[in-house]
Chains A and B, each alone.
Chain A
């Protein structure tokens, strides 16, 4: 069985502050991991992905994520958040099928 857990349902961060979104997975084989962002009423946009190689992955919009096999984690980070980063963020694992975490809603305070 495969599963993805995003422990934080909501996160509020001030504009300009750093952001870290947690993602933990459970899968018996090599995980292929993704982070997506969804604005209200929109589809999903891929931020970054990890397939193999360097465990620190750079993505679009200044995001990065680090794969830690020992912790079964794939946390997303951004050093300085912009108001436009307010959205829903989903971590996903491609195993037998694409499985999503429950999502984390990010609110950005001015």
Chain B
């Protein structure tokens, strides 16, 4: 199998605080992980590509300093939303692939972030 676990499933935080979301590949090593943001009733928008041991690659328009990504091991990537504001409230989803070609993504269950 290929299981990706995301934690927490939901989180509520106060404006100005930071929140960390974890994405783990449970039964495989993931050299690359991806972070998406999904607004209500919309599709997934790729935020960044996370590579183990190197800096993440951010999509155009995504603030690097706002969304900090760390991929310290082959099974864990984290997304930290810094100084969160209500407009950061969203559904965040991670995915990972096994490095095969063609790539097949395995998705976490998502994290609902609400900033109050």
**Which A residues fall within an 8 A CB radius of B?**
32, 34, 36, 41-46, 49, 51, 90, 94, 97-98, 100-103, 105
**Which B residues fall within an 8 A CB radius of A?**
4, 6, 34, 41-44, 46, 49, 91, 93, 95, 102-110, 112
Tell me the complex Cα distance, A32–B69, Å. Answer: 27
Tell me the complex Cα distance, A2–B14, Å. Answer: 38
By DSSP majority rule, is chain A's interface helix, strand, loop, or mixed?
Answer: strand
List the A side residues contacting B49 at CB < 8 Å.
Answer: 97
By DSSP majority rule, is chain B's interface helix, strand, loop, or mixed?
Answer: strand
Chain B residue with minimal CB distance to A31? B102
Min CB gap B33→A, angstroms: 12
Chain A residue with minimal CB distance to B103? A94
Tell me the complex Cα distance, A94–B46, Å. Answer: 13
Chain B residue with minimal CB distance to A32? B102
Contact partner of B43 (CB less than 8 A), chosen from A34, A42, A94, A102, is A102
Contact partner of A98 (CB less than 8 A), chosen from B4, B34, B42, B108, is B34
